[in-house]
Structure 1
């Protein structure tokens, strides 16, 4: 599939960024674009010692990408402040952002419970609302 991302290829970049700039965390979303309304969505985080790659979501159809990055960033902040490890924080952020892709407008109108339900359940990664 032409839209696939190779998370393994990002590890060297993450390590170099952490070393060069002294970042506590290096985090990036990884989007697979199959069409304007169908994307794969996951992310990766590095804390200077360990990498964690989130599960992948299949978002189809995408209703609105606007606010997807903001909801991811907000989810990361929430997760790192309230969850015991970087993996859980990243899963929360990716799920929050995946849900935002299904909502028109630039606000992520979902609850923490909805995000936790998607992050912790639905093993196939298909985002439905």
Structure 2
């Protein structure tokens, strides 16, 4: 499995608030803002990223981490083979991301995502 980046998802009450802290104070660039999730990344190192999440558009639980991988289908098959709890099934989301949520052995929900090139 090739991991492109690991992104902490900060669970917040309102993902539309506080963007200036990440953009102006920390110097991050807004990658996207969908209302319920906003993501910011370093202009000098795009693998450094953080997301504000106030809910999820399609999953039953919020994730604490997003792991962007090269082959999300293969990672999904491996998670199932290992018997890990799938919290949100492998889904092609309307915004272009293919993803699933899995619970790690500590109970943390992890979003495994494949992004289009």
TM-score by length of 2: 0.31
Name the one with the larger helix percent: 1
Determine which structure has greater relative contact order: mean sequence separation of CA pairs < 8 Å that are 6+ residues apart, divided by chain length. Answer: 2
